[in-house]
Structure 1
Amino acid sequence: MSRTERFDTALGFTSSRHPVTRILRWGVYVVCIVVFAGPLLSLLINAFTPVSNPTSLTLIPDTVTFDNFTRAFDRGVLGYLLNSFFVVGFGLLAQILVSLSAAYALARKKFPGMRLVLLLILSTMMLPEEILAIPLSLVLADVPFIGVNLIGSLFGMIIPVAAWGFSILVMTEFMKEIPVELEEAARIDGAGEFRIFISVILPLCRPALGVIGIFGFVMIWDQYMLPLLVATDTAQYTLPLALRTLRSDPQVGLGVLLAAALLALLPSVIAFLAMQRQFMKGLTSGAVKG
């Protein structure tokens, strides 16, 4: 490889030994880091700093305190956090189960109207939450066939997120790439439909599970409209909805709001760090197959 050979970087620059080019490149890197990481770093630092004035945020704190979190817990933030974990835990579990079942039927089976079903699933991703708000509230107030009212219940926040078109489509396209010969070999060995799904298909879907797991977690965790429709009491609020209440309360200081915002941010970051290996495999699997 010659010394004059250049490589394109992610930002479109070419690797060069010229001093001006290197300074310009690193200058752009620093600007990108400040723009994207600056607000997060400021949130992290000032959540542990006494803040009385919105214009006094700093990246170099004079003192470190947990008083903001103590006051946030006194405001019920811990209960809101537990509600969010309850909703995202059961909601994500239901979403993964529904996505796996629907994707297996759409990817490995042939039945009349399959294209129509895929079109309907895709159409659900094109409608904004504001359009679905009123019909959804009417359905949750009187669930068809069983006549149960889920308004005022955390389960009313779980049932609507159990089926998400994005997760179903991702799993469907991934399962289509699994060789049919693996199923045929399992059937020759006497495996049934359920055994094939559990022992053959499911282990190969781990990269896709990482993708829908992270996106599903973030989607459910960041829900605002759904808890707003379902909750009838502040005790049923999830943390994103509670942030609005804390912000509108003049007695709540900025430090308490920053502490609550940090608690709302950390679970998504931890979820990504815990599943990043499977997530990256899922994103790149389609590029290396075939």
Structure 2
Amino acid sequence: MKTRPPARADRFDSALGFTAQRGPVARLIQIVLYVVLVAVFAGPLVALMVGAFSPVADPSRLTLWPETLTLDNFTAAFDRGVLRYLANSFIVVGLGLLLQILVSVSAAYALARHRFPGMRLVLLLILSTMMLPEEILAIPLSLVLADVPIVHVNLIGTLAGMIIPVAAWAFSILVMTEFMKEIPLELEEAARIDGAGDLRILWTIVLPLCRPALGVVGIFGFTMIWDQYMLPLLVAQDAGQFTLPLALRTLRTDEQAGLGVLLAASLLALLPSVIAFLALQRQFMKGLTAGAVKG
């Protein structure tokens, strides 16, 4: 039986998927490639941060190194109500994400642990909602929010009209369902022998094991709700109900505000998503790699 010859010590597999020779030339190419990648991906972010803290006189000349630092852009943005828009965004994303997680966990536990007639149809309907773009749903959604069935309440012009529609998201439900299916049934059977009910099993056994999936759902759900533009555009009737993404459009058309104010508001809109990812990145990475290794 022939054995494979050992790998040469002077070769290595790069993270980009190709094999290269060790040596000064290969190291130089690798450094240049990494610098180009960092410039492409980090360059716009650096330009955004520099422009937010610098006076921008010419919109066509954004630099990566500030000549002078100032907070005038943020002061002007605050004078135009950005803090109010930011507070509206936090209210919508906070309550919306809480409802979304509650709905996703409840629906996923029912789909993963219980069998009932029409379950495949329910999964198909949930999955089909991901195939429809927001533009198609805009008019029906606005009609429903103007007169909510059964209760006949008008949610147009309220923050509740931006919160309730995001309470159920097919992506979160499917992620939680697939993750809960991997939890051994023996754990729940042992808890039922001890007299635990479904709610206690879900709270004390299933949810602690689903923390990686909750991290994935939390990050994607936060980003989805925070970046909502179409929904606030349909619901908001005056500037006091704007969220920050919707207010950016107003600042963009405000010739007196200037590009610096727009960049400052854009930086404020970007930071919460970055902070949310940094706070949940450990659970996020565990959720992405869950099930990749069997053992």
> Scaled by the length of structure 2, what TM-score is found?
0.96
* Structure 1 residue 257 corresponds to structure 2 residue 276: no
Distance in 2 between residues matched to 1:25 and 1:261, nearest whole Å: 33
CA deviation after TM superposition for structure 1 residue 57, in Å: 1.5
Tell me the residue number matched to 1:174. Answer: 179
CA deviation after TM superposition for structure 1 residue 105, in Å: 0.2
DSSP-derived class of the 2:222 partner:
helix
Gaps spanning 5+ residues in structure 2: where?
Answer: 1-5
CA deviation after TM superposition for structure 1 residue 8, in Å: 2.5
**Aligned counterparts, 1:29-40, within 5 A:** 29-40=34-45
Distance in 2 between residues matched to 1:289 and 1:233, nearest whole Å: 54
Which of 71, 81, 87 is equivalent to 1:76? 81
Which of 44, 48, 54 is equivalent to 2:49? 44
Aligned residues: 290
Provide Cα deviations, 1:137-163, integer angstroms capped at 9, x if missing partner.
Answer: 000000000000000000000000000
Letter in 2 for 1:110: R
Letter in 1 for 2:88: N
Provide Cα deviations, 1:75-109, integer angstroms capped at 9, x if missing partner.
Answer: 00000000000000000000000000000000011
DSSP-derived class of the 2:178 partner:
helix
DSSP-derived class of the 1:49 partner:
coil
CA deviation after TM superposition for structure 1 residue 2, in Å: 6.1
Aligned 8 A contact 1:48 1:68 in 2: yes
Tell me the residue number matched to 2:144. Answer: 139
Q: Larger deviation: 64-73 or 9-18? A: 9-18
Distance in 2 between residues matched to 1:19 and 1:222, nearest whole Å: 45
Gaps spanning 5+ residues in structure 1: where?
Answer: none
Provide Cα deviations, 1:148-193, integer angstroms capped at 9, x if missing partner.
Answer: 0000000000000000000000000000000000000101111111
Distance in 2 between residues matched to 1:6 and 1:168, nearest whole Å: 45
Aligned 8 A contact 1:48 1:65 in 2: yes
Distance in 1 between residues matched to 2:98 and 2:251, nearest whole Å: 30
Instruction: Calculate percent identity across the aligned residue pairs.
Output: 77
CA deviation after TM superposition for structure 1 residue 114, in Å: 0.5
Cα pair distance change 1:187/1:134, threshold 3 Å:
same
Which of 230, 240, 265 is equivalent to 1:235? 240
Which of 209, 213, 217 is equivalent to 1:212? 217
CA deviation after TM superposition for structure 1 residue 209, in Å: 0.1
* Structure 1 residue 113 corresponds to structure 2 residue 97: no
Aligned 8 A contact 1:104 1:172 in 2: yes
DSSP-derived class of the 1:160 partner:
helix
CA deviation after TM superposition for structure 1 residue 257, in Å: 0.4
Tell me the residue number matched to 1:156. Answer: 161
Tell me the residue number matched to 1:17. Answer: 22
DSSP-derived class of the 1:42 partner:
helix
DSSP-derived class of the 2:49 partner:
helix
Tell me the residue number matched to 1:271. Answer: 276
Tell me the residue number matched to 2:3. Answer: none
CA deviation after TM superposition for structure 1 residue 31, in Å: 1.0
Letter in 2 for 1:238: T
Tell me the residue number matched to 1:62. Answer: 67
Aligned 8 A contact 1:13 1:25 in 2: no
Aligned 8 A contact 1:42 1:59 in 2: yes
Distance in 2 between residues matched to 1:5 and 1:222, nearest whole Å: 47
Q: Larger deviation: 191-200 or 116-125? A: 191-200
Aligned 8 A contact 2:227 2:245 in 1: yes
* Structure 1 residue 96 corresponds to structure 2 residue 101: yes
Distance in 2 between residues matched to 1:94 and 1:7, nearest whole Å: 48
CA deviation after TM superposition for structure 1 residue 10, in Å: 2.4
